[in-house]
Amino acid sequence: MFALNATSSRKARIAFAARDGENGRVLPRFLRRPARFFAKVFDGEIVIPRFVEPVGLVGIFAATALYGSVVSGQFGGAAERVTAALGFAVNEVEVSGHRNTSEVAVFEALGLDEFTSLISLDAAEARKALESLPWVETATVRKVYPGKLEIGLEERRAFAIWQTGETLSLIERDGRVIGAYGGAGFASLPLVVGPGAATAAAPFMEMLSRYPRFASQVKALIHVGERRWDVRLANGITVKLPAEAPEKAVERLMAMDEQTQILSRDIASVDLRLEDRTTVALTENAMLRRAAALEARAKAIKASKRSSI
């Protein structure tokens, strides 16, 4: 048995129920106060108002509905619609820093519609979704309550057009592919062709930039055997450079052009692959003209010999 400090007999019964004799069970501490409360209710010491019952039923039904929504995965959508209806719907989107990324692509990436709530929108997830777009390098997402979304984009920079087979792609300086080449706005970019050209083009073009008179004429770069380069100039001439020390070959070509204006002539290619020899190939028209000139020369020689007899 144990002592009771309360004066009420009802309180004494509650305390006694907590320990049923010396060998009785002891209620856990967190259950003792609820047990005392319900004992008072059952004994009539506490009177519950009549309106509590319907309110309690409503609460039970609401809790059941909430539990069902959570279990079925519909709670997020319901919460989003409720907060949107309360005035937190995204009704203004400000996009900045985009040139090649359309606003439609931004909206689709974020899944925005008239029911999108600014409260339920996850800014970190939105940023990841935007950075998955082809042109987007980095993105920032800022929520301005009650209904404005500010989006800042930093786009990737196209360095060249890379051709593999019949496929044309826009690439960055490090060779990463941005996306398919669409033609508009990128026609001035150099064309790099062949396997390995995407990653090898930047250092090679940096070398060519030291010879601006030559680099300004470059139209396309063809990576041959992933070892060396053929340079196609804007006038159609192909310059074949060696795999080793191509800069020396370019210097030799520049010295030759200074003396003979070889790059302004009607030729098809200049082969600089051998250090001690330069081979020049004429165009088909130039070959025809050369053949005609040789034939005319031969006739003139014959005519001069006949006249001298």
Q: What is the pLDDT of residue 116?
A: 85
pLDDT band at 282 (very low <50, low <70, confident <90, very high): confident
Q: How many domains does the chain have?
A: 3
Would you say residue 292 lies in a domain?
Answer: no
Q: What is the pLDDT of residue 295?
A: 63
67-74 average pLDDT score: 47
For the chain, give the mean pLDDT. Answer: 79
Amino acid at 80: E
Amino acid at 264: S
Q: Kindly report, residue by residue over 291-302, the tens digit of the pLDDT.
A: 555 566 666 667
* Pair (126, 233) in one structural domain: no
89-111 average pLDDT score: 93
Quick check: 185 pLDDT over 90?
A: no
* Pair (274, 176) in one structural domain: yes
Q: What is the pLDDT of residue 115?
A: 84
Q: Which ranges constitute the DSSP H helices of the chain?
A: 9-18, 29-43, 52-72, 75-83, 103-110, 123-131, 197-208, 212-215, 246-260, 284-308
Would you say residue 74 lies in a domain?
Answer: no
Strand partners, 191: 161, 220
Q: Among 140, 155, 170, give the residue marking a domain's end.
A: 155
pLDDT band at 309 (very low <50, low <70, confident <90, very high): low
Q: What is the pLDDT of residue 45?
A: 62
179-207 average pLDDT score: 91
* Pair (127, 26) in one structural domain: no
Strands 191-193 and 160-164, by their bridges, are parallel
Domain extent for 133: 81-155
Tokens of 101: 């990324």
Question: pLDDT higher for 259 or 283?
Answer: 259
* Pair (144, 172) in one structural domain: no
Q: Kindly report, residue by residue over 120-167, the tens digit of the pLDDT.
A: 889 999 999 999 999 999 999 999 999 899 999 999 999 999 999 889
5-27 average pLDDT score: 42
Quick check: 22 pLDDT over 50?
A: no
Percent of the chain's residues with pLDDT above 70? 64
Quick check: 71 pLDDT over 60?
A: no
* Pair (280, 175) in one structural domain: yes
Tokens of 271: 């082969």
* Pair (195, 145) in one structural domain: no
Q: What is the pLDDT of residue 306?
A: 67
CATH of the domain at 85: 3.10.20.310
Quick check: 244 pLDDT over 90?
A: yes
Would you say residue 186 lies in a domain?
Answer: yes
Residue with tokens 């090898």: 200
* Pair (115, 151) in one structural domain: yes
* Pair (115, 39) in one structural domain: no
Q: What is the pLDDT of residue 296?
A: 61
* Pair (222, 274) in one structural domain: yes
Q: What is the pLDDT of residue 119?
A: 87
Q: CA-to-CA distance for 44 and 222, rounded, in angstroms?
A: 97
Question: pLDDT higher for 255 or 12?
Answer: 255
Q: CA-to-CA distance for 182 and 211, rounded, in angstroms?
A: 30
CATH of the domain at 184: 3.40.50.11690
**Least confident stretch, 149-158, 223-232, 252-261, 276-285:** 276-285
226-245 average pLDDT score: 95
